[in-house]
Structure 1
Amino acid sequence: MRFLLACATILLLAAQAQASELTVKVTKVESAEGGVYVALYGLEDGFPSRPCRWCQRVPAQPGTVAVLFPHLPPGRYAVSVYHDVNGNGRLDTNRFGVPTEPYGFSLDARGSFGPPSFEDASFTVADQPLALEINLVSNPPAPEPEPEPNF
Structure 2
Amino acid sequence: MSLGGATALPSAQSANLTVSVEGLRDHKGNLLFCLTRRTAEFLKCDKDPDAVRGSVAANVGTLNFEHMVPGEWSLLMIHDSNGNGKLDKRFGIPREGFGFSRNPPIRFGPPSAEAVRFEVPAGVSHQQVKMRYIF
Counterpart amino acid of 1:109?
Answer: P
Q: Kindly indicate whether structure 1 or structure 2 has the higher relative contact order, using CA contacts under 8 Å at least 6 residues apart.
A: 2
What TM-score, normalized to structure 1?
Answer: 0.75
Kindly indicate whether residue 69 of structure 2 is the aligned counterpart of residue 73 of structure 1. Answer: yes
Report the equivalent of 2:32: 37
Deviation for aligned residue 1:44: 5.6
Counterpart amino acid of 2:133?
Answer: S
Q: Matched residues in 2 for 1:123 and 1:78: separation?
A: 6
Tell me, yes or no, if the aligned pair for 2:39 and 2:117 is still in contact at 8 Å.
Answer: no
Question: After superposition, where does 1:11-90 map in structure 2 within 5 Å?
Answer: 15-16=9-10, 17-43=12-38, 46-51=41-46, 53-61=51-59, 65-90=61-86
What TM-score, normalized to structure 2?
Answer: 0.83
Report the equivalent of 1:145: none
More helix by share: 1
Q: Matched residues in 2 for 1:122 and 1:18: separation?
A: 21
Question: After superposition, where does 1:118-137 map in structure 2 within 5 Å?
Answer: 118-137=113-132
More strand by share: 2
Secondary structure of 2:114's aligned partner: helix
Q: Deviations over 1:90-135 (max 9, x none)?
A: 000112x110101010110135432112211111011121111111
Q: Which consecutive residues of structure 1, in runs of 5 or more, have no partner in the other structure?
A: 1-12, 141-151
Q: Deviations over 1:77-97 (max 9, x none)?
A: 1111010001100000112x1
Secondary structure of 1:18's aligned partner: coil
Aligned length: 124
Q: Matched residues in 2 for 1:113 and 1:54: separation?
A: 27
Report the equivalent of 1:109: 104
Change (3 A) 1:137 1:111: closer
Tell me, yes or no, if the aligned pair for 1:56 and 1:67 is still in contact at 8 Å.
Answer: no
Change (3 A) 1:45 1:67: farther
Change (3 A) 1:71 1:45: farther
